[in-house]
Amino acid sequence: SYVIDQQALITPMLSQMQASNIGQTILDLSANTNRYYTTSGGTNASNWLKNRWSSLAGGRSDITVEQFTHASWPQKSVILTFKGTDNAAQVVVLGAHLDSIAGSGTGETTRAPGADDDASGVASLTEIIRTLTANNFKPRRTIKFMAYAAEEVGLRGSAEIARSFAAANTNVVGVMQLDMTNYKGAANDIYIFTDYTDASQNTFVTNLIKTYLPTLKIGTDRCGYACSDHASWNAQGYYATMPFEASFSSSNPRIHTANDTYANTGSNAEHSLKFARMALAYAVELGADGP
C-alpha cells in the first residue's frame, strides 16, 4: 500500500541534507585511480565505504554493515542494514554501484574517476544514511543500503545479490536504484525509467516527488536494455524503480572516461541532492509500514 503519511518525520530531515556532504563523498570516491572490479582501487573503495558506513552506524545494535564476497572477482559489495522493529521480515532496498570503468581495457593504472557514474549514487545513499542515523531513525521494515560491485561488467554484483535474496525467499517489497544523479543534462529534474521497473512503484515515487519536492519537474524515459542494477532485481520478480539524472539522449557524455569528474558536473552536488531527498522519502515511507 503506497500510502504517503510520514511528513512529520520526513520534512525536517530533508532540510538537514546537504549537497556539500554528497560532494565530499564524490571527491573521496573519485580520488581512487579507478574503482574497477578487479583492481586494488576497486577493493580499496569497497573497504573505504565499509568503514565510512560503519562509522555512520555508530554503536547501534540494530544497524549492521557487511561486505558481500563475490567468488569470481575481488571487489566486494557493501551492505548496510537497518533491522526493522516489528516488521523486519519485509525488506526495502536502495542501491547504487561502487565500481567505475574507462573502456574495456581498464586496469590498475587506468584513470576512471566515475564521479557521476556512480559515485554520485553512492554519495547520495551515504547522505541518506547520515541523516537517518543523526535522527535516530528506526524503521518498522528492514532497510538495506547496497553499494554493488561489478555493475559495469554486466550488473554482476547486483545479479549475485538479487539471486541470493530470491533463493532465500527474502520478502523484498521494493528496490530503488540510483545510478548517475549529478549531471543535469535535460529540462526535467528527475526522469523515472519505465523499462525493467515496476509501474505502480514508479507511480508511488512520482507521488513522493510531488509531495516532498513539489518544485521539481518529472520526466520519464527508457533505456531499451538492462542499463543498471535495478534490472537484476526486476529479473528476480522484485519491484524496482530507477530515477535518473536526465533523459537517455541527454545523459552525461563523459561517463566511462577519465573525464567523468566532479568538476565536470560543476563541482557541486545540487542535482544529486534532489535524488538523495527523494530516496530518503522512499526509504522512510516504505520502511514505515507494519506487517
Using CB under 5 A as the criterion, which residues of the chain lie in contact with Zn ion when the complex forms? 117-118, 179
261 binds, among ligand IPO, Zn ion, none (CB under 5 to 8 A by kind): none
139: which 3 cell numbers? 524503521
Instruction: Confirm or reject binding of residue 185 to ligand IPO (CB under 6 A).
Output: no
Which residue lies nearest Zn ion, judged by its C-beta? Answer: 179
Name the catalytic one among 179, 189, 229, 285: 179
Q: Which pairs with CB-CB distance under 8 Å and at least 24 residues apart come from 4-12?
A: 4/207, 4/208, 4/211, 4/285, 5/285, 5/288, 6/281, 6/284, 6/285, 6/288, 7/211, 7/212, 9/135, 9/137, 9/284, 9/288, 10/212, 10/280, 10/281, 10/284, 10/285, 11/212, 12/135
Q: Which of residues 251, 257, 261, 272 is near ligand IPO by CB under 6 A?
A: 251
Smallest distance, Zn ion to C-beta of residue 3, A:
31
Position 72, amino acid: S
By C-beta, is 251 or 257 nearer to ligand IPO? Answer: 251
Asked if 151 is an active-site residue, the reply is yes
Give the pairing type, strands 171-177 and 190-193: unpaired
Number of residues this chain uses to bind ligand IPO (CB under 6 A): 12
C-alpha cell at 49: 565505504
Partner whose binding site includes residue 248, from ligand IPO, Zn ion, none (CB under 5 to 8 Å by kind): ligand IPO
Q: How far is CA 99 from CA 41, 122, 155, in A?
A: 9, 10, 10
Our answer to whether residue 97 is catalytic in this structure is yes
One-letter amino acid identity for 95? Answer: G
Q: By CB under 6 A, is residue 36 in contact with ligand IPO?
A: no
Which one is catalytic: 151, 160, 245, 285?
Answer: 151
Q: Which residues lie near ligand IPO (CB under 6 A)?
A: 117-118, 151-152, 179, 223, 227-228, 244, 248, 251, 255
- The residues that are catalytic are 97, 117, 151-152, 179, 256
